Amino acid sequence: MPAHVNNQAEHLRYEAKGRNVEELPVASEKLPSRLDVHRRKRSKKKKALSFPLIRILLVFFFLIVIGALLSPFWLEYML
Q: Cα–Cα distance between 62 and 9 in angstroms, integer?
A: 54
Q: Does residue 79 lie in a domain region?
A: yes
Specify the pTM. Answer: 0.35
Kindly state whether residue 62 falls inside one of the protein's structural domains: yes
Domain tally, the chain:
1
Q: For residues 17, 21, 22 and 26, what is the CA-based torsion angle, rounded to 10 degrees?
A: 150
- pLDDT category of residue 4 using cuts at 50, 70 and 90: low
Whether 68 maps to a domain, the answer reads yes
Q: What's the domain range around 73?
A: 51-79
Domain presence at residue 73: yes
Whole-angstrom Cα distance, residue 27 to residue 10? Answer: 33
Q: Which three-class secondary structure state does DSSP give residue 55?
A: helix
How do residues 22-45 score in pLDDT, each as one tens digit?
555 667 678 888 888 888 776 555
Quick one: pLDDT band at residue 8, thresholds 50, 70, 90? confident
Q: How confident is the model at residue 9 (pLDDT cuts 50, 70, 90)?
A: confident
SS3 call for 8: helix
